[in-house]
Every structure is written in C-alpha cells, then in structure tokens.
Structure 1
Amino acid sequence: MSEKDSESAPDSIFRNDVIRSFSWSNINVQVRDRRTKQSLKLLDSCDGYVEAGQLVALMGPSGSGKTTLLNVLAHRSQTPWTGEIKANTVSVGKEDLRQISGYVEQEDALTGSLTVRETIDFSAKLALHGLSASTRCAIVQNLVDSFGLNRQEHTIIGTPLRKGISGGQKRRVSVASQLVTSPNVLFLDEPTSGLDSAASFNVMQFISSVAKKHGLVIIASIHQPATTTFQLFDQLLLLAKGRTCYFGPVQEVSDYFNSIVPMPLHTNPAEFLLDLVNTDFDSTAADQSGPRLAAICDLWSTSQMYKTLQSAVSTAPTKTIEPIFKTSRLGHPSRPDIPLILLHRSFIKSYRDVLAYGTRVAMYIGLAIMMGTVWLRLDYTQASIQPFVNALFFGGAFMSFMAVAYVPSIIEDIHTLRKEHANGLYGPLSFVIANFLVGLPWLLLITLAFSIIVYWLSNFRDTAGGFWIWVLWLFLDLVAAESLVVLLSAIFPIFVVALAATAFANGLWMSVGGFLVPMGTLNVFWKYAFHYIDYQAYVFQAMMVNQFKDTIYDCDRVNDGGYYCMYPSDLQNQGKTRGTAVLDAYNYSYEDGKMWEWLGIMLGIIVGYRILGYVAMWFRLRRN
C-alpha cells in the first residue's frame, strides 16, 4: 500500500457531519426484587448530554448501574425502561441507532480461529463497501499499529485447543474491530479490562484522538482508571445506586467535590470518587443508600451544573423525524456480498478450528475402522442378514448422533452473529446461508472417508451404484443432523443445554425410526407424531432397500436335506431367500418411485430445519 493511502485511510470511513450531539433524559429502569418482591430502581432519572468529539467516562461502584445505563443508551437492554434518547436533537430508535453506533461488550465475542488482523479485516469488509482493497488494508494496518498489536497480528485469537493472544490483547482487538466499522457513537463496556496501566493509557489515548479528529461520541464504562488515563476523558458520569452523583467536565471534578469532601493531594481522583460513593462497606449507613450518598445526590440535583445539563437536554426538540443516520456507514446489512464474506470467514474457521470439523473427520475415520472390522466381510448367508441390518442402523444413527461435536463451534458462531447483528452489520439470513454452504464440502469429505472404509470392509452390495446410493443417503443424514444442531443451538444458545437437547433428539429419532421398534408394534402416538418427520427413518429404509432389493442369501440346510429360510421367498426350494423378503418383513416399499419420494422428504426436512433455525435466530435477535 502507498504512504498516501495509509495517511488518508482513516478519513475515508468516518463522516464528521452525521453526529453533532447525543443526549438522554429521565432514564429510569425499575425491576421487582426476587427476594423481597418489592420494586427496585436500577436507574433513577439519569440525564446526559455529549457533543461530537467527546469521550465520556461512566464510573461507579459495582452494582451502580453502569452496564445497565450503557445497554439502555445502546438500545440493548432486556429490561423495560422509560426515558428518551436523542441524536442530533432527534429521538432515535433501535434500528437507526444501530446504523450509527458500535458496542464493545465486557465479554469478548471473537472467532477464536481467526488471526488478529483477519478479525479486524473481516469487520471492515462487513461494514465498509466501495473502498479499494488498498484503502481498507491501510485502515486495518492503522488500527493494528495504533493498538499495539503488530507482533500479534498473525496470531490467532485462541480456541480451547490452541492458545492465542492474552485477555488484554483480546480487549484491544474488540475495540479495534468496532472502530473499523466507522461508528459515530461508540459504547465501550470496560474497554481497559485486563490491560495494564500503560496499555490502558495507550488504548484510551488513541480512542480519544479518534473521537476528537472525526467527531465521534464515545461513552465508556470504566473501573478505577489510573490518573493519566482518567484525565484523557472529557466528561464524567458518576453513578451510585442508580442515581447520578456528578455529570460534567473531568477537569472540574476536584473543585466540585472539594466543596463536599476535600480531596487529598497526590490522590488518584478516580479512586477517591469511587471510595466516596461506595456504601457497600459503610457500617454507619442508616439505610440502603447511606446518608452520605443521599447528601451527594441531593447536592447534585440542586447544583448549577445540573441546571446547565437540564437546559442542554431540554433545548432539543422531542418530535421524531425521518433521520439521515443510515448514511453513516459505507455499507449496509442488505448488501448481496455479505453471505460471500461470511462464507469466506467460515471457511477459514472450518479448516483451522479442530473442534468444528477436524475432530469429527478423525472421529468418523476411527469409527469407520472400528465398524468395518467388527462387521468384517459379512457373507451372503441368512446368518448375516441381521448383522447387515444392524450395521445399516448403526452406521446411519451413530453418524447422526456424533454431530453433537459441532455444538461448541456453532454456539461460538451464534454469539458472533448476535454481536455483529446488534452492531448493524448483517442479519440472520446471510449467516444461515453461509453456515449451510461452508459445511457441505466437509460433510461430503466425512461421508466419503467413512464410506470407502466401511462399505467394502463390511461387504455391502458389491456394485458401484450401491456404493454411491449409500454415499448419497449418508451425506443427507449428516446434513440433516448438522441442520438439527444449528436449529437446537439457535433455540438454546448455551453449550450444555444445546448438547443435551441434541443428544435427546437423536435418542428420540433412533427410538421411532422403525428398527428398534418395528412399525407394526410402534404405538400410534409416536408413529404419527414423530416417525414421519424422523430423517433417520428415511436414511435407514433407503439403505435397507439399497442393500436388500437386489441381493440373494443362502438359507440354512436342515437334517432332512431341506432348507430353513428365516425370510421365505419364491427361491426357498433352491435353498435361497431374496433380500426383498427382508424388506417385506420390515414393511418397506421397494418400488422404484419410493426412493425419489423419500429423497424429496429428506430434502424437505433439511430445508425445514434450516428455516426453523433462521426463525429462531430472528426471534432471539429481535429481543437484543
């Protein structure tokens, strides 16, 4: 990239004319205490006014309402709230705010198998459209340099099986990934968590310089910053027990609080203020708030600074108009190239993340060797009929069951989707399309590796057509199983719950598939409620037809010179039995058109799972 590109890159993604001010008034959050059943205020009449280019520190003791207020301001609160939020004097709703804002959560939601540079670069690709590759590359490099990540830029974030960067470095990557999306309002929840004092200062110094240079509004909750870091902020909002103790310039903090409690010389102002409003360990408190805290809050509500703040907030019109906020980003979630970008990212993850597919490939190959040697070279006598049937059931059912190994990977992807959707980058449809497409080649590879070993070792029907029909149905089995995992993980995006739900579902499909309990014995409820939507049932019966439709088995010879055939057929007098007699015993139709009918049903089940997975994600994302 050229030096010119590098110097001009940051100016190409921020629009200085989008946000001039950001304010909130009379924010209240009230819940019911689970223990006492009494009403409990998490936030009590909070107000604020921030101008473009300012960096606001949101401080307070644990439980003061910092994260609650941050979530309300970003329209991400799960708890009902009242009040008004404005941008450029306009009441702004959730969808409009997401187009102009970014949010860095306290817990990093990063794709562990991507490198530092790839993480930031994919955020840029998703958010920015129309920039040249060299310009985007310059933007990413600028952020990598500014956040002190040069040495780690080609190191992966980290997975359970592969060590990556440190927790503090992950925080820097999270902030950089949001800055690269060109937000005009940026919410940071504990951005310096896990960083030492030097790293905290450098990160906040860069964020402050970006805010001032490009007119960003940045609101950051922060816990006990060092003095040098604290002085980088322009405004301070001090909360305690959900009430405002101070909102105003950082430079005026000492003068304001000296009139209440003199601040000792050479004291970190942030530490002093937190100690001052923290009543958790105040044994002299007469009530829940403490008399000192009540006095501080009352003094603020009668101060001149409070009146000035009220004036700034109230002078803005309250009517809602059609805003121009959606032009703030150079990209848009409905861009047609979004699925391709997600597909590229998912492909990188798929071959780097051992838990996603690598472990499953090794596991299925091991299972194939085990199965092929247990059911080794079965002969075509009637004694082998039941082992053949058992092998068909075991192969399809156990392959499907082991799709539970995909749960941790898809849970991570869903958490990433939630974060990036909340930041207005893309929706669940693009995610579902990319997730489906990236899995197909891997599932085909697993199917082929398993089939090449098992099919010939176990001596299934010795024709090319028989082999490829087996491959087709086993592939569809794995696609359906993975689609079920995606659906259940979308409904229950918690690892242990999704794992248990997937295991239970597979147990159900095995029970009603028609092998463990024959269709003539299976009771009506389970038959009509679940059997006909059981994808494992269609896989099993298709494999049964493939194996037994055109094969013949030798019967046992008895003492009188005759033959005993377990499945009588027209060849019994010749000491043989047709495989179709086995199919008749299981009530499986082997008409030529039936295989196509089952194939259509199987594809319908797969599509249905994916659509339901999309709907589940859509409903969950609407609540965020």
Structure 2
Amino acid sequence: MQFDEVVYKIRIEPVGGLLKKKTKPEKRVILNGVSGSVYPGEMLAMLGPSGSGKTTLLTALGGRLGGDLTGTITYNGKPFSNAMKRNTGFVTQDDVLYPHLTVTETLVYTALLRLPRTFTKADKVEHAEAVIAQLGLTRCRNSIIGGAFLRGVSGGERKRVSIGQEMLINPSLLFLDEPTSGLDSTTALKIVSTLWELANGARTVVMTIHQPSSRLFYMFHKVLLMSEGNPLYFGKGADVLTYFSSVGYSPSVAMNPADYLLDLANGVATADSNEDQVAIKQNLVKAYKTQLSTVVKLELAVEGSLHTSSDDRMLKRWSNTWSDQFSVLLRRGIKERKHTSFSTIKIVQVLIVAVLVGIFWWQSSIDNLQDQVGLFFFISNFWGLYPLFQAIFTIPNERTMLTKERTSGMYRLSSYFMALTVGDLPMELVLPTIFYAIVYWMAGLKRTAGAFFSGLFVILYNVLISQGVGLAIGAVVMNQQTATTLGSVIVLAFGLAGGFFVQHVPIFIAWIKYISINQYSLKLLLASQYENDQTYNCGINQTCLVRDFPSIKSVGISMSGTILSVVVMAVMLVFYRLIAYLALMRVGVTRK
C-alpha cells in the first residue's frame, strides 16, 4: 500500500448570532501532505498525540473516509475497490460486538457471512475454530462477549475477538485503530505479538497506537510520527532516534522511544528545555520536508512486485446469496434480541398491566358500554405506544454494528432489514397475545372464538404497524432522545385523534384522524365485539342500538368501515417500514 501527499480538510461552520456579521465557512486541514508505503511482511505504527490526525489517516487508507480528501492512495498499484474491500480487514478502536453472543457464536456467524459461498458451512465453522485457536481464545470460547452492564470476557479477549473477525477472511491488509487502548501492558504485548506474527505471514499490518511500551515499539517495522496533521518522521522504527539526533533533538536520559516521540510531537524537546513548543514543531516539520520527504518519495517511486489477485472479478460479487445472508442474520438476530425482548422486567411489566386492566374492568357488561369502549381504547393505545418505543431504539442501537458490517461488504441492506423485520415477529407478538388472553377472560368479554381471535388479530396488526412507526422514527432521526420526543408527540396526536376523547374535532386539524393508527384499530376492535344491530340496556326497561352510542357512533362499526380500516392499516404496515428502509440506506454504506 502506498499513499502520496494525502490531504484532508473539513468544513467548519462559523459560530455567530443574529447581531454578528455572517461569515463564510472555513476549511480546517486535518491531514497535510502525508506520504508513505508499507509492504507485505511489514507492520506500520502511526504515532502521535490526540488530535494529530492518525485515526483520520487510518480511516482514509482503509477506504472509509469521504469528503474533501486529495492525494493518491494505491493498493498493489490500483485504487480502492470492492474487490480490495473484501480482502481488507479493519478493526475499530471500540469493539463493536453483540453482548449476548458467545465468542464462538460471534466468530461463526461472521464466518458464515463473510467467507465466500465456495466454502461449505462445515468449512466456515472449521475456519472460525482455527482462528479461535490461533488467537488463544479457546479458554473463553463458550463465554458471552458481555457489555457495559453485562459481565463477559475480558477487554483483551474482546479485542482479540474483534481482530479474529477480520482474520477470518485471511486479509492481505489489516488496519487497526488503537488495538491496545485500555489494556494492561502484558495483554497489549500479546495482541501486538499476534499482529507481528500475522505480518510475518506476508500480510500488511497498519495500526494507530497512542503510547506503546518500549517492548512494543521495537516490534514495529516502520513508524509514522504525526503532529497536528503534519508528518514528522516516516521510516524504520529502529532508526527513529538516530534521525531526531541528527536534526538536533535527542533524549537527555534513557527512556522509551515512544514517550520521547510523543514529547516531540507535542513540542517538548527535553524536560528542562526553554524552547517554544510551536517553534519545535515548526522545526521538526521543516526537517522532515528537507531531509526525509525526498527519501519517502523515492521509495514510493520504486515499483513493487505485487500483482492484483486473479480473483478480482469474483470478489466484486457478494460473498453469499441473499437467502444465505437472510438466514444467518435471522438466526443471529433472534439469538441476540431474545434477551431484551423477553427480559424479566418486560414480561413482568406486561403481566402487571394485564392483571391491573383485568381488575379494573372485571367482568364488565355490555350494559356498561362506556366502560367497554374505554377498555378497547386503552388496549389500542397501550399496544400502539409500547411496541413503538421498543422499536425506536432498535436501529439507533444497531447503527454502529450495521455501519461496520456493511462497510466491510458482509451483506445486502435488504437482507438485513428483512431479517430484522421477520426476526422480531415471534418476539413482538407473544407478549400482546398473553396480555389480550388475560384481559379478555378477566373483563368477561364476548365468549366466542370468533370475537376473541378477531380482536387478537387487530391487536397484533396494531403492534406490527406501531413497530414500523418506531423503526421509521429511529432510522430517520438516529438520536435516541430526539426520537423519543418525536415518538411521544406522534403517539399523543394519534391518541387524541382516535375518536374516544374528542368527537367534534376542529376541521383544520381533523385530518389527523385519517392517519391515526388508534382510530382504525379501535374501529376494528369494536367491530370484533359488537354487531351493527346489537342492542344494550340504556335505561329502565329501555334498549338502544350499540351503533348509536356516542363513543361508537363517532368511530363506526359498519362492514364498509371495517374493510377500509383493514386496507388502510395494510398500507401503513408497508409504508412505515419502507420509510425505515429508505432511511437506512444512508447509514454508512456504499452498496445497497
């Protein structure tokens, strides 16, 4: 891999108020003419203080940085392509893993998705097992990954799992962002030793690292030192102190070379130096341009003996078929999300609400028609609100994982979305079924199978649509706090326009009822329980038609209204999920 005069700029919008003069946005230089090369069998470490641009450069070299990026980056003499993406591993600083999956499950599912269809399922599993053994993860192979609030494997083991996911494809080029961050020195040494062995296996390894120990530093074949986006050194790690001594900067005492390099990058020459920090940085940038830049350029001009793989045409296609991707994603999604969907607190919550509702409406009678209408409205509202807020957090929580896997070209967006939709069905429909069965029996509603199952159908129908609304809000907004606020407003508006609280809505806002899920679900629930010509006792020795009851009349229980409600809700079911899918297309992907 070679990179020549890489420059990256970001646009900074001016901060101003109403009284301040409007100014044009400025551009800030993040990378300023960085060059270098790294070959198979070499491990390049990019060092520098926070904000030096090393992570930005790594992201650019990995083909994951858009925007105002100029310069030349080539792989085997060619620009970045889908074929190259399939043969490149990228390990982010934060380990993006599913917390409830075990180490083995995590690597097996990744192997099933990333390895090409030419491998059988048994071959892919065997490959995952080999990576587990290679990375020393055998002891924790059946332990869950864990997370912030879930005990799992250690930080070092989690990092090795992340590296293992990329090793599954046997990458010729491996990028790692701060692979030793937050780890003790012994664990960090184990990880870098593993990477060193990978590099010795004719792979190219590029990493950013903040402050490695001296043992780690001397394992690097090449070092790139950066400060404020400018290169200060590029070359062999063993020659770095010799170079800085030649330009007038050498440590006053024996110390870790990495520590001294960071001091220089921060503008600190020695502990007792009075030289200005800005001046030191300027001197080092000038020294690089006059003494090292030409050497780096000469190395870039030398043609390597590398050739593009003959499998380039094959790699441009998806590794697996749509159905294989869907199957693996479905199984993985169910295994991971069942822990949250069927968590104890959610089950207890639904059961408590069901029992409370059953007690309040205990053995209600049709003669207390207002009470029964209120019951159906509450059920419609509850199962419109509950699944909506559950679904709002689904996509924002999975955004990082989706971005990581889609950027690696693991699967199509359509296969992911369908697996997400289908996988949620059994989990999202079980609790409302139990809820409705409890409430239906305790409230003493109509004792016929037809009435019960038609009402249950409406509840499940309502759940699916509300879930679609939640997915759409979460995918469009992507900010959980903002999405929750927007969801609350939508639920409130749908509830007020549902036809129970207000029958005479002002005409300028009456249109909301036509998009209110609550109105259509309430209409269907009433139709499942009452007939158009059914009567009830509305006074002493006096009967009235159910359809003329004010709360029912404003909603209606006619056959035509029932059919229309079913059709409109079907349109909503498709529409909101389509919005969610279209919104997802902008989440860090290059292929749909």
Provide TM-score, normalisation by structure 1. Answer: 0.85
Q: State the secondary structure of the residue aligned to 2:585.
A: helix
Task: Give the 5 Å matches for 1:277-288.
Answer: 277-279=265-267
Task: Give the 5 Å matches for 1:72-83.
Answer: 72-77=60-65, 79-83=67-71
Aligned letter for 2:102? T
Aligned letter for 1:398? F
Asked if structure 2 preserves the Cα contact closer than 8 Å seen for 1:356 and 1:406, the reply is: no
**1:241 and 2:228 are equivalent in the alignment:** yes
State which of 47, 54, 62 in structure 1 corresponds to 2:50. 62
Q: State the secondary structure of the residue aligned to 1:40.
A: strand
**1:361 and 2:347 are equivalent in the alignment:** yes
**1:497 and 2:464 are equivalent in the alignment:** no
Aligned letter for 1:482? Q
Aligned letter for 1:368? A
Q: Which residue of 2 aligns with 1:555?
A: 538
Change (3 A) 1:162 1:54: same
Aligned letter for 2:563? W
Q: Kindly state the Cα deviation for residue 556 of structure 1 after the two structures are TM-superposed.
A: 1.7
| Alpha-carbon separation, structure 2, partners of 1:344 and 1:139 | 20
| Alpha-carbon separation, structure 2, partners of 1:268 and 1:442 | 55
Q: Which residue of 2 aligns with 1:392?
A: 376
Q: State the secondary structure of the residue aligned to 2:38.
A: strand
State which of 413, 438, 459 in structure 1 corresponds to 2:423. 438
| Alpha-carbon separation, structure 2, partners of 1:532 and 1:75 | 47
Q: Kindly state the Cα deviation for residue 615 of structure 1 after the two structures are TM-superposed.
A: 0.6
Q: Which residue of 1 aligns with 2:401?
A: 416
Q: Which residue of 2 aligns with 1:461?
A: 446
Q: Which residue of 2 aligns with 1:618?
A: 585
| Alpha-carbon separation, structure 1, partners of 2:285 and 2:359 | 77
Q: Which residue of 2 aligns with 1:567?
A: none
Q: State the secondary structure of the residue aligned to 1:75.
A: coil
Task: Give the 5 Å matches for 1:460-539.
Answer: 460-518=445-503, 521-528=504-511, 530-539=512-521
| Offset from partner CA, 1:532-583 (integer Å, 9 cap, x none) | 22222211111122223264321222xxxxx5xxxxxxxxxxx222222237
Aligned letter for 2:374? N
Asked if structure 2 preserves the Cα contact closer than 8 Å seen for 1:392 and 1:544, the reply is: yes
Change (3 A) 1:223 1:124: same
5+ long unaligned stretches in structure 2: 16-24
| Offset from partner CA, 1:52-110 (integer Å, 9 cap, x none) | 232110110111011111122223235422222211111225x4543332322122221
State which of 138, 146, 161 in structure 1 corresponds to 2:126. 138
Asked if structure 2 preserves the Cα contact closer than 8 Å seen for 1:99 and 1:326, the reply is: no
Larger displacement relative to structure 2 (75-84 or 248-257): 75-84
Q: Kindly state the Cα deviation for residue 228 of structure 1 after the two structures are TM-superposed.
A: 1.7
Residues matched between the structures, number:
573
Q: Kindly state the Cα deviation for residue 512 of structure 1 after the two structures are TM-superposed.
A: 2.1
| Alpha-carbon separation, structure 2, partners of 1:481 and 1:216 | 49
| Alpha-carbon separation, structure 2, partners of 1:264 and 1:290 | 20
**1:545 and 2:527 are equivalent in the alignment:** yes
Q: State the secondary structure of the residue aligned to 1:621.
A: coil
Q: State the secondary structure of the residue aligned to 1:524.
A: coil
Q: State the secondary structure of the residue aligned to 1:165.
A: coil
| Alpha-carbon separation, structure 1, partners of 2:556 and 2:398 | 41
| Alpha-carbon separation, structure 2, partners of 1:335 and 1:233 | 41
Aligned letter for 1:415? T
Task: Give the 5 Å matches for 1:127-276.
Answer: 127-129=114-116, 130-159=118-147, 161-213=149-201, 215-260=202-247, 261-263=249-251, 266-276=254-264
Q: Kindly state the Cα deviation for residue 218 of structure 1 after the two structures are TM-superposed.
A: 2.0
| Offset from partner CA, 1:489-512 (integer Å, 9 cap, x none) | 212223323333322222222122
| Alpha-carbon separation, structure 1, partners of 2:395 and 2:14 | 36
State which of 361, 367, 374 in structure 2 corresponds to 1:375. 361
| Offset from partner CA, 1:299-324 (integer Å, 9 cap, x none) | 11122x4323213334669xxx9996
Asked if structure 1 preserves the Cα contact closer than 8 Å seen for 2:499 and 2:555, the reply is: no
Q: Kindly state the Cα deviation for residue 514 of structure 1 after the two structures are TM-superposed.
A: 2.2
| Alpha-carbon separation, structure 1, partners of 2:394 and 2:584 | 16
Q: Kindly state the Cα deviation for residue 359 of structure 1 after the two structures are TM-superposed.
A: 4.0
| Alpha-carbon separation, structure 1, partners of 2:448 and 2:78 | 72
Q: Kindly state the Cα deviation for residue 216 of structure 1 after the two structures are TM-superposed.
A: 2.6
| Offset from partner CA, 1:430-454 (integer Å, 9 cap, x none) | 1110011111112221122011101
Q: State the secondary structure of the residue aligned to 1:84.
A: strand
Identity of paired residues, percent? Answer: 24
Q: State the secondary structure of the residue aligned to 2:323.
A: coil
| Alpha-carbon separation, structure 1, partners of 2:143 and 2:309 | 44
Q: Which residue of 2 aligns with 1:29?
A: 8
Q: Kindly state the Cα deviation for residue 335 of structure 1 after the two structures are TM-superposed.
A: 4.0
**1:292 and 2:280 are equivalent in the alignment:** yes
Q: Kindly state the Cα deviation for residue 611 of structure 1 after the two structures are TM-superposed.
A: 1.2
Segments of 4+ in structure 1 off by > 6 A?
A: 280-283
Aligned letter for 1:507? L
| Alpha-carbon separation, structure 1, partners of 2:44 and 2:173 | 11
Change (3 A) 1:358 1:498: farther
Q: Which residue of 2 aligns with 1:40?
A: 28
Change (3 A) 1:357 1:621: farther
**1:109 and 2:96 are equivalent in the alignment:** yes
Asked if structure 1 preserves the Cα contact closer than 8 Å seen for 2:519 and 2:555, the reply is: no
| Alpha-carbon separation, structure 2, partners of 1:464 and 1:210 | 65
Q: State the secondary structure of the residue aligned to 1:91.
A: coil
Q: State the secondary structure of the residue aligned to 2:174.
A: strand
Q: Which residue of 2 aligns with 1:6?
A: none
| Offset from partner CA, 1:220-272 (integer Å, 9 cap, x none) | 11011112222222211110010001111212223222213224664211111
Q: Kindly state the Cα deviation for residue 407 of structure 1 after the two structures are TM-superposed.
A: 4.1
Asked if structure 1 preserves the Cα contact closer than 8 Å seen for 2:101 and 2:336, the reply is: yes
Change (3 A) 1:124 1:577: same
| Alpha-carbon separation, structure 2, partners of 1:330 and 1:166 | 37
| Alpha-carbon separation, structure 2, partners of 1:63 and 1:85 | 22
Aligned letter for 2:372? F
Q: State the secondary structure of the residue aligned to 1:51.
A: coil
Q: Kindly state the Cα deviation for residue 370 of structure 1 after the two structures are TM-superposed.
A: 1.1
Q: Kindly state the Cα deviation for residue 586 of structure 1 after the two structures are TM-superposed.
A: 2.8
Change (3 A) 1:331 1:145: farther
Aligned letter for 1:495? Q
| Alpha-carbon separation, structure 2, partners of 1:316 and 1:357 | 59
Asked if structure 2 preserves the Cα contact closer than 8 Å seen for 1:116 and 1:153, the reply is: yes
Change (3 A) 1:166 1:338: same
| Alpha-carbon separation, structure 1, partners of 2:149 and 2:45 | 37
| Alpha-carbon separation, structure 2, partners of 1:280 and 1:40 | 24
Q: State the secondary structure of the residue aligned to 2:101.
A: coil
Q: Kindly state the Cα deviation for residue 523 of structure 1 after the two structures are TM-superposed.
A: 3.1
Asked if structure 2 preserves the Cα contact closer than 8 Å seen for 1:126 and 1:331, the reply is: no
| Offset from partner CA, 1:454-510 (integer Å, 9 cap, x none) | 112112222110100111010011111222222122122233233333222222221
State which of 285, 295, 298 in structure 2 corresponds to 1:308. 295
| Alpha-carbon separation, structure 2, partners of 1:503 and 1:160 | 27
Alpha-carbon RMSD? 2.8
State which of 560, 565, 569 in structure 2 corresponds to 1:598. 565
Larger displacement relative to structure 2 (592-601 or 462-471): 592-601
| Alpha-carbon separation, structure 2, partners of 1:323 and 1:35 | 50
Q: State the secondary structure of the residue aligned to 1:336.
A: helix
